[in-house]
Amino acid sequence: MKILVNFQIDKPLEPRLIGDNVIYRPDLERKGPGHLGKTLAAVAPDVLVTCQLPDVVSVAKWIQTTSSFPVFIVCIGDYPEAVQTVAGVPVYWVSAQGDLSAAERALILTETLHSRQLDDECNRPLRIARQQHRSAPQEHVVLVGAGAVNLLTAYYLHEQRYRVSVIDANPDPRTTSAWSQLGCTHGGCDGRMFTLTESRYHLANYQNTDTEPARPFQDRIAANGWLCQDRHELDGTDIAWITEYTQTPTWLTSVLNEDIISFNRQSAPLWEALKQDCPSIFDGVGYTPTVLRVYSTREQFAAATVNEARVGALKRVLDPASLCREHPGLAQAVRDGAIVGALEVVGFTVGIHRFSAKLIGLLEDAGVDFRWNQRVTEVAKETNGEVRCLLAGNESIEADHYVISPGAYGGSLLNGMVCGEQISGIAGAWLSLPNTEPRLAASMKISRVGFAASGAAEGANVIVDSSTDGEFIHISSGHGYLGRDCESIDMGAVEDLFRVVDETARRYFPAAYDAAQRSGLLSSSRRYCVRPWTPSGLGIFEMAPTRNGGLVVVTGGHNTGGFAQSPSVAMAVLAALRGEAADMHRAYHPERLRRFLADGSFRRRVTPVEESAADIGLAYRDDSAMAESGASGTLYQ
C-alpha cells in the first residue's frame, strides 16, 4: 500500500514513521493545491494522509490515474459531519489530540482500514458462500496435525456436533518414546504457559535495550544472533522471510503486538470455562495457577508494571522483600542481584504432554477418529482453485471441511496456499531441574538483559511441575532460526541454545542446578522443539473454498503462543465454518502485512512532465536510521 503523507512530521518521529511504503512530501504543505494534484496523479498512492482536506480537482486527478481501488483519505482534524467524501473518495478523520502523535494515529487508522479492506476482499465472499451452503451439524471436518491448537479445535468442533477426524504424520505421542520424531507440542518438554502477553511481537519488546543485537538475523547464536546456520547457507525463501520480518516499521509492531495480545485476552475466559466444563483434562497434569514475571533491572521492572497493567494482566507487584518472603525459592537469585522485582500476572501452566494425552483420550472416547503415522502431502485443487481433497500418499481424503495446523513442518503441504512460504521454524531448548527446598511454588517468566547470550535468550519460561516422577522445574529459552527446512538441524547450533538455557538455570536456581548436574538430570532432560514463526509476528488464519461449498482453513504460525491462543483459534474456526466473521480472520490474514508494505519501488524519484525532480523532492531514508531508531514497545490502546 502506497501512503502519501503531505505534511511535516515532527523530526524525531520521522525515522519511526517513514517506512518503505510511505511517500513523504512535507513540501506539499507549503505549495498550492495544483502541486498536490500533480503529485497524486504522478505517484498514484492508495491513500492520502493529510492535515488539510484536499480540493476536488486534485482528488479527481488522482482517481483518473490510479489503478488502485478503493483509495481513501485520512485527514487529521475535527470531524465535520457534512464531509464524508471528496470527489467520491471516502474521508476518514483522526483527532489531532491524544497520547500518540497525530501522524502515528493516522498511520494506525490507515493500516486498520487496509486490513478491513483485505478481509472484505478475501474472506467476506467465503463467509457469504458458507451461509448459502450450510447443512446439518454433522458435517465432517478433517484436522491435519494433532498439536495443541488442533486438539482444542477438535474439542470445540465435537462439542458443536461436527463429525471430527484427526490425522498426524507422527506416531501416537502416548505410546512412543522417540520425542525427536514428534512435533512441537509433544516433542518439547512437558510444560506450557498461558499469560495475556504470550507470543507478543518479540523484536518490538526490547529493540531499545543496549544488549539487543542490531542484526539478530545476521549472526549465529554463538555470536549473539538468532541463526542456526551461517547466513550465506540460507536459501532465497529464508532471506525473503528475514527481510520481511526485520523491515516492519517500528510504529506498526505496536499495532501487531496489540492484535496478538487481544487473542490472548479472548482466550482467557475460554480457558476458565474449559476448566469448569471439562476439569478432568486439568487433573494430574501439573496445573499451576500462579505465574510470576521477574526482572533483572529496575527499568525493565518499572516499564513492565505499566504494560502488564495496561493489558489487564497485573494481579500484584512484589518488591524483593515480599518476593523472598512469599517465594523463598527465589531468595538466592534476589540476593545475587538476578531479580530486582516481580509481578504476579494472570496465567497458568500445565504439563502439555499429559494435558494433550488426556484430551486425546477424551476425544477418542467421544468418537473422534485419530490416524497416526499418516502424512498428508498435498492440498489437491481443481483448475478453478477450489480444493478437491487432501492427498496422503496414494490415498485421497475427502470431507466437508479441512483444518490444517502443521506447526513448523507444513513444508510442501502448504504449497498453493497464500501462507505457503510464511512459516519458518525457530528452535528453542529445554532442560529440567529438581525442585529442591526451598521449593519454587510458582511458574515464571524471566526477563533479563546483559549476559553473554542475550540475543538468543533474553527471556525464559520457568514451569514448575508436580508428577508421579517427582517435583521439577522445566526451563525453556532460545531463538534459533532454522528457516523452512526444519527437518535437518545443526546440532552444534542446538548445543549453543542449550548453553544459554544452562546459564539461565545456573543463575536463577544455583542449588537445583548443582543437584541436577550431580544426578545426571541436567544432561538427560535436554530437549529442543521447533516452533512455527511468521515474518509478520502474527499467527496465520487462511481460508480457501472447497468444491462442495466447504472450507479449508490453515491456522498456526503462533510463534511462542499456540497453546495460549488455541481456544481463540478454535472459536475463529467455528465462526468460519458457520459463515460468521471473527476478528482473527482479519488480523491473522496471511497477506495483511505483506500487502500493506508491498513493493517499495515507488520510492524511486518520480519526475512528471509538469514538475522538475527538485519540485517533487521525494524523501530518501537511510535504512540504518530505522534500525537505530528502535521501537517503543508501547501497546496501542
Residue 452 has pLDDT above 50, yes or no: no
Give the SS3 label for residue 236.
helix
The range of the structural domain enclosing residue 392 comes to: 124-172+354-421+536-588
| Maximum mean pLDDT: which of 379-383, 467-471, 498-502 | 379-383
282 part of a folded domain: yes
Q: Which of 12-26, 264-278, 451-465, 532-546 is predicted with the least confidence, judged by mean pLDDT? A: 451-465
184 part of a folded domain: no
Which pLDDT band, with edges at 50, 70 and 90, does 557 fall under? confident
State which amino acid sits at residue 540. I
pLDDT attached to residue 637 = 22
What is the Cα–Cα distance from 38 to 520, expressed in whole angstroms?
A: 74
Which pLDDT band, with edges at 50, 70 and 90, does 5 fall under? very high
Of 19 and 531, more confident: 531
pLDDT attached to residue 601 = 37
Q: What is the mean pLDDT of residues 22-37?
A: 89
Q: Which of 207-216, 346-355, 598-607 is predicted with the least confidence, judged by mean pLDDT? A: 598-607
Cα distances (angstroms) measured from residue 293 to each of 198, 289, 469, 521: 12, 14, 27, 26
503 part of a folded domain: yes
First to last CA, the chain: 24
What is the Cα–Cα distance from 112 to 152, expressed in whole angstroms?
A: 29
Residue 382 has pLDDT above 80, yes or no: yes
User: Could you tell me if 237 and 369 lie in one domain?
Assistant: no
pLDDT attached to residue 604 = 29
Interval 311-340: pLDDT, tens: 999 999 999 999 999 999 999 999 999 999
Which pLDDT band, with edges at 50, 70 and 90, does 483 fall under? confident
User: Could you tell me if 451 and 303 lie in one domain?
Assistant: yes
Q: Quick one: cell of 572?
A: 475463529
Q: For residue 216, which of 258, 252, 245, 259 has the smallest C-alpha distance? A: 245
Q: Which of 57-66, 266-275, 622-631 is predicted with the least confidence, judged by mean pLDDT? A: 622-631
Q: Using DSSP, how many helices (H) and how many strands (E) does the chain show?
A: 22, 25
pLDDT attached to residue 610 = 31
182 part of a folded domain: no
Considering the chain, what is the average pLDDT of its residues? 86
Which pLDDT band, with edges at 50, 70 and 90, does 373 fall under? very high
Q: Residue 26 belongs to a domain with what CATH number?
A: 3.40.50
H-helix or E-strand spanning residue 366: none
User: Could you tell me if 520 and 540 lie in one domain?
Assistant: no
At a CB cut-off of 8 Å and minimum separation 6, what does 183 contact? Answer: 145, 147, 168, 170, 407, 408, 409, 529, 530
Q: How far does Cα 85 stand from its chain's mean position?
A: 36
66 part of a folded domain: yes
- Strands 3-5 and 22-24 come out as parallel
Residue whose C-alpha cell reads 548445543 in the numeric block: 495
Residue 107 has pLDDT above 50, yes or no: yes
pLDDT attached to residue 449 = 67
pLDDT attached to residue 25 = 94
| Maximum mean pLDDT: which of 24-33, 96-105, 458-467, 538-547 | 538-547
Interval 110-168: pLDDT, tens: 999 999 999 999 999 999 999 988 766 689 999 999 999 999 999 999 999 999 999 99
Q: How far does Cα 437 stand from its chain's mean position?
A: 37
pLDDT attached to residue 202 = 66
pLDDT attached to residue 621 = 26
CB atoms within 10 A of CB 120: 12
Beta bridge partners of 427: 480, 530
162 part of a folded domain: yes
Interval 37-74: pLDDT, tens: 999 999 999 999 999 899 999 999 999 887 766 899 99
- Percent of all residues in the chain with a pLDDT value above 70, rounded to a whole number: 89
Among residues 487, 512, 533, which one ends one of the domains? 533
Beta bridge partners of 404: 144, 554
pLDDT attached to residue 450 = 54
pLDDT attached to residue 636 = 23
Q: What is the mean pLDDT of residues 622-637?
A: 28
Among residues 533, 559, 579, which one ends one of the domains? 533
| Maximum mean pLDDT: which of 241-250, 350-359, 483-492 | 350-359
Residue 550 has pLDDT above 50, yes or no: yes
User: Could you tell me if 80 and 114 lie in one domain?
Assistant: yes
What is the Cα–Cα distance from 36 to 62, expressed in whole angstroms?
A: 9
User: Could you tell me if 579 and 458 lie in one domain?
Assistant: no
Among residues 493, 516, 533, which one ends one of the domains? 533
State the DSSP code for 53: P
Residue 451 has pLDDT above 60, yes or no: no
pLDDT attached to residue 217 = 83
User: Could you tell me if 197 and 314 lie in one domain?
Assistant: yes
Which pLDDT band, with edges at 50, 70 and 90, does 633 fall under? very low
What is the Cα–Cα distance from 224 to 215, expressed in whole angstroms?
A: 9
Residue 249 has pLDDT above 90, yes or no: no
Which pLDDT band, with edges at 50, 70 and 90, does 231 fall under? confident
Q: For residue 186, which of 348, 354, 361, 405 has the smallest C-alpha distance? A: 354
User: Number of structural domains, the chain?
Assistant: 3
Residue 428 has pLDDT above 70, yes or no: yes
Helix then strand then coil, in percent of the chain rounded to 5, is 40, 20, 40
User: Could you tell me if 558 and 619 lie in one domain?
Assistant: no
Q: What is the mean pLDDT of residues 236-251?
A: 86
User: Could you tell me if 498 and 618 lie in one domain?
Assistant: no
Q: What is the mean pLDDT of residues 442-471?
A: 78
User: Could you tell me if 247 and 294 lie in one domain?
Assistant: yes
Beta bridge partners of 471: 466
pLDDT attached to residue 188 = 86
31 part of a folded domain: yes
User: Could you tell me if 542 and 524 lie in one domain?
Assistant: no
pLDDT attached to residue 612 = 30
State which amino acid sits at residue 88. G
Q: What is the mean pLDDT of residues 6-24?
A: 89
Beta bridge partners of 392: 395
Residue 204 has pLDDT above 80, yes or no: no
Sheet (strand 341-345) strand order: 314-318, 341-345, 291-295, 443-447, 459-467, 470-483, 424-434, 527-533
pLDDT attached to residue 215 = 66
User: Could you tell me if 454 and 584 lie in one domain?
Assistant: no
User: Is residue 456 within 8 Å of residue 226, measured between CB atoms?
Assistant: yes
State which amino acid sits at residue 260. I
Residue whose C-alpha cell reads 467524501 in the numeric block: 85
H-helix segments, 380-531: 491-508, 510-519, 521-524
User: Could you tell me if 157 and 297 lie in one domain?
Assistant: no
466 part of a folded domain: yes
pLDDT attached to residue 251 = 87
User: Is residue 402 within 8 Å of residue 546, measured between CB atoms?
Assistant: yes
Q: Residue 262 belongs to a domain with what CATH number?
A: 3.30.9.10
pLDDT attached to residue 627 = 30
Residue 205 has pLDDT above 70, yes or no: no
Which pLDDT band, with edges at 50, 70 and 90, does 622 fall under? very low
At a CB cut-off of 8 Å and minimum separation 6, what does 376 contact? Answer: 144, 167, 169, 390, 391, 392, 397, 404, 413
pLDDT attached to residue 447 = 86
Give the SS3 label for residue 188.
coil
Beta bridge partners of 143: 166, 403
Q: Which of 218-222, 319-323, 469-473 is predicted with the least confidence, judged by mean pLDDT? A: 218-222
